[in-house]
Structure formats: structure tokens, C-alpha cells
Amino acid sequence: MLIRYGYDFTLYCARETPVVTMVSARTERAGDMLCPEVHTRFPDVEEEIYTDSFGNICRRFNAPSGVIRLHGVGYMRDSGLLDPVTPDAPEHDVSDLPDEALMYLLSSRYCEVDRMSQLAWDLFGNTAPGWGRVQAICDYVHGHIRFNYQDARNTRSAFDAWQEGRGVCRDFAHLAITLCRCMNIPARYVNGQLGDFGIPYTADPMDYAAWMEVYLGGAWHTFDPRNNKRRIGRIVIAYGRDAVDVPMITSFGPHLLQSFTVITDEVSEADLAQQDAAQ
């Protein structure tokens, strides 16, 4: 399948403001891109592209005073298969983990491992280690939190989400990540695009999605506590310790997000050929 993905944002800044966006697909999928992504700014201010310490692609520019529109589009080939399942993937002893995985065992801004450790061991200490334990954590989080777009709050931590029992996809991810880390399973936060492929259509506007990856059996594996099912066509934009590391827009000064559209849909190469011919 061929996925068209992208965004269209409008920002207002009262004065010239430095901005960093994180909206490009990670380079691991570069071989699946039909063509390079196209990113434009109106007005067309100069940008610099760099890679952060997690390998995420960042775009840096100065937004002028007034309104600026940010637009991007890419085309990604995808297998159309569901997220893989590896039920025999084992946990690792901490002493056997690679150095780069250790940071994903520690507390972070939204994932209070120290505060939730006893709860995690009470809930999952008798669960068989490995894939099944992570799935049990996802089952618990999926059942414990009530999803509602109106319940979004950017200050809510994993502990808050557990106490309140409500939130959005980032809250599901933060709570599941924290419980995994409490059980000495490395877990990282993922921000990406996930279209409504292979599921019933919903009228909800498209948005970025959050899920997690856990380190089992020498590899990182996708788990999605918000949906709690395998899905088709994930496009990873960024990952890090939690949502602090993967902001879609960071402005060094106030900005107002006037409009916000996320694009993730299936297209055919014939459709693209017709569009190119029309242009």
C-alpha cells in the first residue's frame, strides 16, 4: 500500500520567534519513501535541518511576526501488514541490556518510575516475564484509562493518568511505559502517524498518535496501549523517553496554533500520476 502523510499548520507569533518542528519521518523508513518529503513555509523563511540525540529529524527556523503556514507531505510504501507479534521474545536481565537501552528504564518528566514501582510489582510481579507481561500491562492500561479527546492535558503524568483514569493516547503510552520500566523492561515513547487502515471509519479528525516500543529479545517491539490491537501503516516521526523529547512544535517565545491538520491516507500510484499530469 502507499500512504500519503503530512501536515498543515498555521501559527501566529506576535514577534519574530525561533521555532523547531519535529514532523519528518525517521530515516529508518527512508528506503520506503516514494520520493523525498516536501516541507514548505509561507512566508518562505530559511530553515536548518539537524538530528537530535535520539536520531529524530528537527527543522529549525525563525517564524516572522504575524502568521506563518507550515505544510509538509510525503509518500510512504508500506507492507499493509499488521504490527508483528513475537510472543516468545524474552526479557533481558538489566546486566545484559545494551548501554543505549538503560535510559529507557529510568524515571523521566512524565514517567515516574520511582513513584509507581510498588504498584507495578503488585500488579505484574507474578506475570510470566517477556511478551506476555508487556501485553498484560497494555491490557491493564487500556482498561484503566477512559479515552476522550476533551481530557487532553499537557501536564498530566503517568501517575496522574493512573489516579484520574482518563486521558488521551499520550497518557496511555506514558502509563504503560512507566509500568514496563518499573518491571525493568526498557520502554520508549513514540510519536507518529497512524491512519484508519483496516478499522471502521470514524469521523474524528486525524491527529498524531502516541504508542510505545519495548526492548525484548534483542529488538524493539511496538505496543499500543490506547488501541490495544495490532494496526497497519504506522509511520514513526520521533521517539524519546516521553513526550518531552518529541514535541511537534517548540517555540522559544509564545505562539498561537490557529489551525492544525494531519494527513494520513491511502493513495494509489495511479492517482499520483494523474495529479502530476494535471500539474
Task: Specify the pLDDT at position 149.
Answer: 85
pLDDT at residue 39 above 90? yes
Say if pTM beats, i.e. exceeds, 0.75: yes
Say which residue, 13 or 276, is predicted with more confidence.
13
Q: Identify the CATH assignment for 94-232 out of 3.10.20.600, 3.40.50.10090, 3.10.620.30, 3.90.550.10.
A: 3.10.620.30
| CATH 3.10.620.30 residue spans of the chain | 94-232
Q: What is the pLDDT of residues 219-258, one digit of tens each?
A: 999 999 999 999 999 999 999 999 999 999 999 999 999 9
Q: What is the pLDDT of residue 274?
A: 67
pLDDT in tens, 157-184: 999 999 999 999 999 999 999 999 999 9
Residues of the chain with CATH 2.60.40.2250: 2-80+247-278
Residue 269, CA distances (Å) to 20, 24, 35, 139, 254 in order: 32, 21, 12, 38, 41
Q: Give me the sign of the Cα torsion angle 262, 266, 268, 271.
A: negative
Closest C-alpha to 225, from 193, 179, 181, 186: 179
Nearest of 173, 162, 172, 178 to residue 105 by alpha carbon: 178
What is the DSSP code (8-state) at residue 108? B
Among 80-94, 164-178, 259-273, whose mean pLDDT is lowest? 259-273
